[in-house]
Every structure is written in structure tokens, then in C-alpha cells.
A and B are shown apart, each in its own frame.
Chain A
């Protein structure tokens, strides 16, 4: 009799602890949800000095950049390996992505400014089903002349899925991913990341 009551008491105690943990967890998550998607949304991207937002492919930081070969707008095959020894910015973008189109002129500006230090910028379109001509027209309208490469889902998967755009990988001369951003950073943040990438991986 006493044993049965003890078992019942333990069970009630266990359930009470589980219940309390569940409620506590719910409250905690509700509190977090008051600031939705904080890792993705700088309040004022243009003048925010906080660290760049996290990306899905952030786990690639410090690792070798996944290799790829894609087709450019003229039909030529372009490989990441072609740029070995150069700091490379790999920017995933799409013609339908407003923030992408607004940050791309900065990549254009910095590709000229840091050309002497070997900087290369590659724009990887994520416009599934679009023709190279459509993508070329959009790139021209945006005002970029660096290589634009056509999409391949397998490459996006290698880079963490690229579930939201823009997503940018900063790759040093040794082929290692120095940093990753999702969402458009401020211009100052972008330049700082480029400088960091140029400085990393040896001269």
C-alpha cells in the first residue's frame, strides 16, 4: 500500500516537473518571438554597426569553400578553382530580390576599389527557370559587370541551402570561408568584410 502511494507520488512529481518545464519553455519562446527574426533583420541596414546577420551557411565559416563549376551569361564554364589565390566574394542573389539589387552596386564599387589586391566578385543567380538573357538584362539594369553565373540547386545546397537572399560568402586566398552574411549588410559592414577577407589567407 505504502509502496503504491510512493510510486504514485513519484509519478505525479515527475509529471509536474515536465509540465512546469513545458510551460517555462513556452513562456521563454513567446518572449523570444516578441523580436521576430532578429538574426535576419538589421533595423536600419544602411547605418547599423551591429555584426552582420547569421546565415544558413554559417557553419561553413573557417572551412574550405565548396567547389563549384557554373555557366556564366555567355555560356562559358566558370569554376571557383579558377580564382585560387584570390580573395573571392560569392554572392547569391535573384532578380526578384529587392535587397540583393540594392547591395549589388556596392559589390561592383568594391570590386574596382580592391582590384589591385586581387578581389574577385561572383554573382550566383538563384532565378530558377529564368533565361540567361533575362538575368543579363537585370544585371545590366542593376549596373554590375562582374561575372554572373546561372543557378544550380546542387551548388546552393552545398552552401547551406541558401533559403533566403542575399546570402554572401567571403572566401580568402587559401579558399577558406572567412565570413557569411544573410540579408543585406550596411555598406561599411560589407567593406569591412572584404578587407578582412583580403587580409586573411596570406598574401
Chain B
């Protein structure tokens, strides 16, 4: 009786461990088909929390990363038809006194006569001047961007921004 219980328990534990592992392996690098690739985000938010001194204006940086092989327009693209990268925040109880985007990098689109672009690639940081009351809150908003690779572009997307802010 006891032996049967142990056998069942071992089988259950093995199954419980193995199923999530196998599932994780299947989806970790995308059971994503190409349609999903086209629809997925090409920018990720690297900053998930901020620790501040309460009631004191201070500079903080929000870090983002563009997927390798892609670029997004900077906040000030060269052509007025291009869609700029823009961060829109709901300050809530925070006071945001200012925001500063980094300068773009030069990127030459090598098709036909070519075009010089002003873009973000890899990691980029948006600086904010923030004042927070004592306690915990969330800085929420979205980053609007439009990504391209060397031969094609994706429609503009919104990346949700959710950052836990704690002020002591």
C-alpha cells in the first residue's frame, strides 16, 4: 500500500516537473509563426522600478531596447512623414517636470537612391525629471514607435509602460 503511494507520488512529481519544462521549451523562442512575428513588439522596456527620494525633483532614466536587426525612428526623424518615437505618460501622483529624448543615430537605408535616417537602435534611454510623494505608485503610459528592418516596415505600435515607483 505504502509502496503504491510512493510510486504514484513519484510519477506525479515527474509529470508536474516535465510538462512545464517541455512547454517552456516549445514556446520560449516562439512557437511563433511569421504572422505573430509581424505583430509582436520590436521594442522592450528594461526599467521596471524606480527608487526615489520623496518630494525632491530628480532625474531618472527609462531604458528601452530595440530588437537586433531593427531600428525605430528617433523622436525627431529627418522626414516629416516618418512617425517619431513618443513616450506618453500618465503621471498620477507624480510630477513630471520634463522629459528628454536621446539624439538619434545615423542610419542609411540602402535601397535604390538610398535615404539617410535618424533612428534608435539597440538600447536607448529617455530621461525624466520626476518628483514623487512618499509611498508607492505606478508610472504608467505607452511608447509609440514604428519599426523597420533594412527592407520592410511594420505599422506603428504602442508599447505599454508600467514602472513601480517607490519614494522614501
Contact = CB atoms under 8 A, between A and B. Distances in A.
A54 B34 CA distance: 10
Nearest to A5: B7
B153 interface: yes
Nearest to B109: A98
Contact of A95 (B24, B34, B81): B81
A182 B19 CA distance: 38
A163 interface: yes
A118 interface: no
A3 B146 CA distance: 61
A184 B25 contact: no
Contacts of B37: 37
Given A41-B149, A99-B111, A18 B22 contact: yes
A106 B112 contact: yes
B91 interface: no
Interface in B1-57: 3-4, 7, 10-11, 14-15, 18-19, 21-26, 28-30, 34-35, 37-39
Interface residues of B, number: 47
A166 interface: yes
B111 A184 contact: yes
Contact of B151 (A15, A25, A41): A41
Nearest to A12: B14
Contacts of A18: 18-19, 22
Given A8-B10, A42-B151, A103 B21 contact: no
A162 B150 CA distance: 17
Chain B contact residues: helix, strand, loop or mixed: mixed
B86 to A, nearest CB: 13
B69 interface: yes
A115 to B, nearest CB: 21
Nearest to A96: B83
Contact of A182 (B30, B81, B152, B155): B152
Contacts of A54: 34
Given A22-B22, A37-B149, A46-B111, A164 B154 contact: yes
Contacts of A96: 81-83, 146, 153, 156
Contacts of A44: 110
Contact of A102 (B38, B82, B111): B111
B11 A22 contact: no
Interface in A24-52: 25-26, 29-30, 32-33, 36-37, 39-46
B146 to A, nearest CB: 6
B152 A183 contact: yes
14 contacts: A5-B7, A15-B18, A18-B18, A22-B23, A22-B24, A40-B149, A41-B151, A46-B111, A56-B38, A98-B115, A102-B114, A163-B155, A183-B149, A184-B112
Interface of A: 1, 4-5, 7-8, 11-12, 15, 18-19, 21-23, 25-26, 29-30, 32-33, 36-37, 39-46, 53-54, 56, 94-103, 105-106, 126, 138, 161, 163-166, 182-184, 187
In the A-B complex, list the 6 residue pairs whose CB atoms are closest, starting with the nearest.
Answer: A22-B25, A183-B151, A163-B38, A183-B152, A22-B22, A29-B29
